[in-house]
A and B are shown apart, each in its own frame.
Chain A
Amino acid sequence: MQGYVRAGSSQPAWLFPFIILVVLILSVLPLARLAAAGIAALANGGVSAVLADPALWSATYYTIVTAMLGTVISLVIGCAFAFVLALTDIRGKGQLSFLFVLPMMIPPQVTALAWVQMSGPSSPLLKALQIAPPLGSPQPLYSVGGIALLYGVQHAPLVYLALRAGLMALPGEGVEAARLSGASSFRVFHDIVLPMSLPGVIAGAALSFVSCTGNFGIPAILGIPSSIYTLPTLIFSKFSAFTSRTFGEVALLSAIIAIISVTGLAIQNRALRGRDYRLLGFSGARATFQLGGWKYLFAPLLWLILFFMLAAPFFALLAGALVPAYGVPLTFKTISLNAFHEILFHQAVTRTAFVNSLSLAAGTATCLVLVTVLAAYALTRRRDAISRAVSSLIEIPYSLPGIVIGVCFILVFASPLPVLNVTLYGTIWIILIAYLSSFFAVSLKPLVSAFHQLDPALEEAARLSGAGFLRRLRDIIVPLIAPAAGASVIVVFLIACNELTISALLWSAGTQTLGVAIYNLDDSGSSDLASALSVLIVLMVIALMLLLELMAKRLPKGVVPWRS
């Protein structure tokens, strides 16, 4: 068995060390650098001061509470859409699926702004309906519930995509067999579909929870006005008051977030244990439930949810972009295209940000999927302490708020690289590397769940017939996991396109991203410009998705995640 890691494993010897090397560069090195900075900063005392700070504990509490509630909401919405769209004969599946994935592209801070505009005293929507609350009414979204609600809305598509990937691979045979034996739809769903889709649900829940703990855009806009700080916003405010102790304090706060996330993931691993269903994948031969009369309940309900997730915030944004000044009611008299004019023809930052964000997103998604296909293969085939440790190391950067990752990479790449003598700091490359680190876990998730459902027998048979690793990869593994890989690319692309917190710290002159541009415009009081730019982004994203939709016929099946 020379050349193999160990007997019984069919991996080439270079594979696992290669994955470990990548993880060392992307996860361990930056975190170690931050830890070193933290320890150095705290060497002269200060741990007790940080730990005794009541703000820390209240932020920890709010982080956990909002993330849990948000996860529950995203699960409810995401699962409802995934089950109905993947398993029933509801009408307009294509449109529903397309639209449901769309909210993910709206950057979280824009979602929050749009919802605030939708529901506050100046809401053009409520004003038009004559039900706007009076001056000085408290904004209901400035609360734990508000933050959790928007977490749910923001992350529901993540759950949907994670679960859908699993449901796509669900073979129809089991369901057929049960049907022929006379089981009712409910019985089939409860006894066959639900248990088989649980790994997807749990994976989606973990992804959502981790995203919630690291989210910055939503608590920044909804929490800060009512003094509800989560750990990411607390860290951000620590940076705004930069002192010699900041790195130390931030290192400690980051450690707490890491503990919360790792705990969440440990619970996920416990839940997934013993739920390893190896299915022989006839991807696409899926079960279908006849909705019958239920469609009169489901269809309007799904469209209504979509209206609130998508249409209403979008129109609130559009209204915000078309008013001449903030607080002016929108009528045919007051309507003005000034904001669009300024954004399109005056602000140099617009073009820069579009080019930067699109290139970064494409580069991140492409580089990652090449690595994560191999990583998911290696990690699912090896089930030992080392591979579990590597999985956790991959998760940590994603579970940390972007601001922390930003700091880590500043520390790592601030001084010129040894040997090459190039400084990455202040260039677009440092943002790219930080993105690779941060979204590794996102890219890996759908692939891991795909490999979990892949029957190893196929590959073993090929190996016994003498097929080499690359041959097996090309002929068996890649075709079977193509849908998950496609989902992985798209999800990373979309998330990276709207990323704000990492780039908030790493951007420099000329490397602004769209997230930075929007946040900055809004922050400087030009919310009309921020809204106008957001509208352009949403339109661009719709255009991109339509482009993919048109290309779908030419791409391997399942690459476009919202299509059956």
Chain B
Amino acid sequence: MKKLSIFTALLAAGLVSVSAEAANLVLYTSQPNEDAQATVDSFMAANPDVNVDWVRDGTPKIMAKLQAEIEAGNPVADVLLIADTVTLERLKDAGKLLAYRSPEAANYDANLYDADGYYYSTKLITTGIMYNTSASMKPASWEDLAKPEAKGLVAMPSPLTSGAALIHAQTLAAVDGLGWDYFKALAANGATAAGGNGAVLKSVASGEKAYGMVVDYMPIREKAKGAPVEFVFPQEGVSAVTEPVGILASTDNAEAAKKFVDYVLSEKGQEGFLKLGYIPARNGMKLPEGFPARDSIKVLPIKADEALKNTDQDLKTFSGIYGSN
């Protein structure tokens, strides 16, 4: 019996020895893990005095986490780097963000950042169509996904999981000739909506599905690694999110947070995104490999204020069509 209690005492001691390292800066991001780690590593290399802890999840989940923390009066995050400006606009309206005028803003189009400096777009992430190379049809337009050839073979991310997917649904819903009817037609054609973009990438790459609505960089990057997938920018145009960065008003580390914002907007930070396969938001940057010329990509417009106002209703509409709640 004695031996056992020594053993358990050792285990218990192991628990006590876990020290919660005090991080200088906490980043909440919706970037995939590898990308988030690369971003943080390069920032820390440039700013050795700042130590970053980061947390990754889909934008709606990160927001739910943040909201629960705010409700609790103890938000942990200092900086957000998440999918879309609509979400940050909502936080700004609620007075949760800190205004910061970054000197780097001079190199960005005025419509890519908030005039008061509450948030700044960091890249352009479009949502188009990916397909498995062994699929029978080469889709060229959104409409193609509603054709009989694609019956039961289409996957899309759920707006409940992905911020980009919500903006995507809201963007297409506002397009003449598509609208919510298009999503109904897809549902009638056996399309499924679940999980985030990563899930769509997986099910198309693995051949469970043949076609998917997905963010551009994932399939383009995977194709370069040898995955049997292709990405197309549909002729009607693509929806886009801009992965903005913003500082929370509740931060205790405003200085470090501002350094982070400056870094991701700087040429060096933007080059890091480019290397990872994203379209940088900064003026005068190249495009990553595998992308067509930037002016050939037609980005569909979205009215941010309307999108913000209708978010709950749109989520309900979407859930109503796809039977997820």
B47 within 8 A of A: no
**Are A359 and B15 interface neighbours, CB within 8 A?**
yes
User: Closest A-chain residue to B68, C-beta based?
Assistant: A410
**Are A526 and B34 interface neighbours, CB within 8 A?**
yes
B228 within 8 A of A: yes
State the Cβ distance, A370 to closest chain B Cβ, in Å. 8
User: Which of A121, A226, A510, A521 counts the most chain B CB atoms within 10 A?
Assistant: A510
In the bound complex, residues from chain B placing their C-beta under 8 Å from that of A355 are 18
> Using a CB-CB cutoff of 8 Å, which residues 198-212 of chain B contact chain A?
198-199, 201-210
In the bound complex, residues from chain B placing their C-beta under 8 Å from that of A410 are 68, 72
**Are B228 and A328 interface neighbours, CB within 8 A?**
yes
Return the 8 tightest CB-CB contacts between A and B, nearest first: A414-B72, A525-B198, A327-B205, A509-B53, A122-B206, A363-B15, A362-B11, A524-B32
**Are B15 and A242 interface neighbours, CB within 8 A?**
no
**Are B20 and A511 interface neighbours, CB within 8 A?**
yes
State the Cβ distance, A533 to closest chain B Cβ, in Å. 10
In the bound complex, residues from chain B placing their C-beta under 8 Å from that of A326 are 201-202, 205-206, 222, 227
In the bound complex, residues from chain A placing their C-beta under 8 Å from that of B68 are 242, 407, 410, 414, 505
**Are B60 and A240 interface neighbours, CB within 8 A?**
yes
**Are A135 and B134 interface neighbours, CB within 8 A?**
yes
A380 within 8 A of B: no
State the Cβ distance, B229 to closest chain A Cβ, in Å. 7
Name the contact of B325 in the complex, choosing from A53, A225, A242 (C-beta under 8 A).
Answer: A53
Q: Which B positions have Cβ atoms within 8 angstroms of A?
A: 1, 3-4, 7-8, 11-12, 14-15, 17-18, 20-21, 23, 26-27, 31-34, 37, 40-41, 53-58, 60-61, 63-65, 67-69, 71-74, 76-77, 132, 134-135, 152-153, 155, 160-161, 192, 194-199, 201-210, 218, 222, 225-229, 312, 315, 322-325
**Are A136 and B192 interface neighbours, CB within 8 A?**
no
Q: Beyond A121-B208, A225-B192, list 19 extra A-B contacts (CB 8 Å).
A: A120-B206, A139-B208, A225-B155, A229-B325, A240-B64, A241-B64, A326-B201, A326-B227, A369-B8, A414-B68, A425-B72, A486-B4, A509-B23, A509-B55, A509-B76, A520-B57, A523-B196, A525-B218, A527-B198
State the Cβ distance, A31 to closest chain B Cβ, in Å. 17
User: Closest A-chain residue to B66, C-beta based?
Assistant: A242
Name the contact of A241 in the complex, choosing from B11, B60, B206 (C-beta under 8 A).
Answer: B60
A555 to B7, CA, bound (A): 9
A521 to B33, CA, bound (A): 6
In the bound complex, residues from chain A placing their C-beta under 8 Å from that of B325 are 53, 55, 229, 234, 237-238
**Are B3 and A554 interface neighbours, CB within 8 A?**
yes
In the bound complex, residues from chain A placing their C-beta under 8 Å from that of B63 are 242
List 25 interface pairs A-B (beta carbons < 8 Å), by A numbering. Answer: A120-B207, A120-B208, A122-B205, A122-B207, A135-B207, A224-B194, A237-B160, A240-B60, A242-B60, A327-B132, A359-B15, A359-B17, A362-B11, A362-B14, A366-B8, A366-B11, A479-B1, A505-B68, A509-B26, A509-B55, A510-B21, A523-B58, A524-B198, A551-B7, A556-B4
A529 to B195, CA, bound (A): 18
> Using a CB-CB cutoff of 8 Å, which residues 236-265 of chain A contact chain B?
237-243
A407 to B65, CA, bound (A): 10
- Take A122-B207, A224-B194, A509-B53 as given contacts and tell me if A556 and B1 are in contact as well, using a CB distance cutoff of 8 Å: yes
A428 within 8 A of B: yes
- Take A242-B63, A520-B33, A529-B34 as given contacts and tell me if A225 and B203 are in contact as well, using a CB distance cutoff of 8 Å: yes
**Are B8 and A489 interface neighbours, CB within 8 A?**
yes
A358 within 8 A of B: yes
**Are A347 and B4 interface neighbours, CB within 8 A?**
no
State the Cβ distance, B213 to closest chain A Cβ, in Å. 14
Name the contact of B322 in the complex, choosing from A227, A327, A407, A522 (C-beta under 8 A).
Answer: A227
A559 to B55, CA, bound (A): 38
Total interface residues on A, CB under 8 Å, equals 84
A526 to B227, CA, bound (A): 13
A367 to B197, CA, bound (A): 40
- Take A135-B134, A414-B73, A523-B58 as given contacts and tell me if A327 and B33 are in contact as well, using a CB distance cutoff of 8 Å: no
**Are B37 and A346 interface neighbours, CB within 8 A?**
yes
A356 within 8 A of B: yes
A546 within 8 A of B: no
State the Cβ distance, B86 to closest chain A Cβ, in Å. 14
A508 within 8 A of B: yes
State the Cβ distance, A26 to closest chain B Cβ, in Å. 17
User: Closest B-chain residue to A37, C-beta based?
Assistant: B71
- Take A226-B192, A237-B325 as given contacts and tell me if A520 and B53 are in contact as well, using a CB distance cutoff of 8 Å: no
A529 to B38, CA, bound (A): 15
**Are B206 and A362 interface neighbours, CB within 8 A?**
no
User: Which of B8, B31, B34, B322 counts the most chain A CB atoms within 10 A?
Assistant: B34
A12 within 8 A of B: no
A138 within 8 A of B: yes
A197 to B227, CA, bound (A): 53
User: Closest A-chain residue to B26, C-beta based?
Assistant: A509
In the bound complex, residues from chain A placing their C-beta under 8 Å from that of B202 are 326, 525, 527
A510 to B20, CA, bound (A): 7
In the bound complex, residues from chain B placing their C-beta under 8 Å from that of A559 are 4
- Take A509-B54, A525-B218 as given contacts and tell me if A328 and B207 are in contact as well, using a CB distance cutoff of 8 Å: no
A304 within 8 A of B: no
User: Closest B-chain residue to A139, C-beta based?
Assistant: B208
